Structure 1
Amino acid sequence: METTANRNTATLLQLSALTQYFFPLGNYIFPLFIWSFRKNESAFVDYNGKQAINFQLSMLLYMLVLGAVAVPLFLYSLFSTTTFSYGSGKGFITEELKAGNISGLLVIGITATIVFIMLKIFEFCLILYAAVKNSNGQDFNFPLTISFIK
């Protein structure tokens, strides 16, 4: 049975990941800060802090992979269907950018945006669920998490 202080600390640790919506990198800084100061006081806080930090790092990795795949595909689609020429004194002129060519760009852009939004909703819901579990004194294992900190 965990003490109320440990349950509150673990809950705050989980909810501190939501600071990403107010401070850049807040979802890494605040959980890491709370975990580093309280990890030696309770195995419960230590375990759930590691879970929260690993989940945030995993989400970062998934977002980077999404960007690493979507951006080159988008740029390739853009430049493979469009020709650029240098006009007389007017700078670069875009030729042959037709509606048929834009559809591939739209598919890539919309798909990447939908996947990004789904990941953020998934992340938000799991953070809240983990906070509720921790407030009840239960450990929570985030799905699809890579164990960076063991």
Structure 2
Amino acid sequence: MEVLHQSTKRIDRQALVLTHLSQLLSYVIGFGGFIVPLIIWGSSRNTIKDMDEHGKAIINLQLSLFLYIIISIPAILLLGLGILSLIATGILGFVLPIVNAVRASNGESPSYFLTIPFV
């Protein structure tokens, strides 16, 4: 006798959108832009369809932004190039979660460019 295990994941686009928008907590209260999406992704990646894909993209973006900031700090001494990269990192960190929240609400895959695939 063979038992088939069917994975019944529910479709919850609102949770995907909130996961993307929770990255903006760093701009609002100063922290939480990495921890909150990590908690949401870890707790619901097995129950919500596409949460694993979106969660990995979010974590990769946050880790990439952190790396870009760490690289930009010593680059400030090189003719101010670090300041430009810090500004660009801040803009990307603000705009990309909003764009991908809209993409998640439309049922599309996340598209974070300039991210390093850590996870």
TM-score norm. by structure 2 comes to 0.83
RMSD: 1.7
Instruction: Give the structure 2 partner of residue 61 of structure 1.
Output: 67
Offset, 1:68: 2.9
Q: Deviations over 1:25-74 (max 9, x none)?
A: 3111110010011001134011101101110110000110111332xx36
Which residue identity is paired with 2:22? S
Instruction: Give the structure 2 partner of residue 35 of structure 1.
Output: 41
Between Structure 1 and Structure 2, the one with more helix by share is 1
Unmatched runs of 5 consecutive residues or more in structure 2: 1-9
Between Structure 1 and Structure 2, the one with more strand by share is 1
Quote the Cα distance in structure 1 between the aligned partners of 2:30 and 2:92.
19
TM-score norm. by structure 1 comes to 0.67
Amino-acid identity (%):
34
Quote the Cα distance in structure 2 between the aligned partners of 1:142 and 1:69.
24
Offset, 1:114: 2.6
Instruction: Give the structure 2 partner of residue 10 of structure 1.
Output: 16
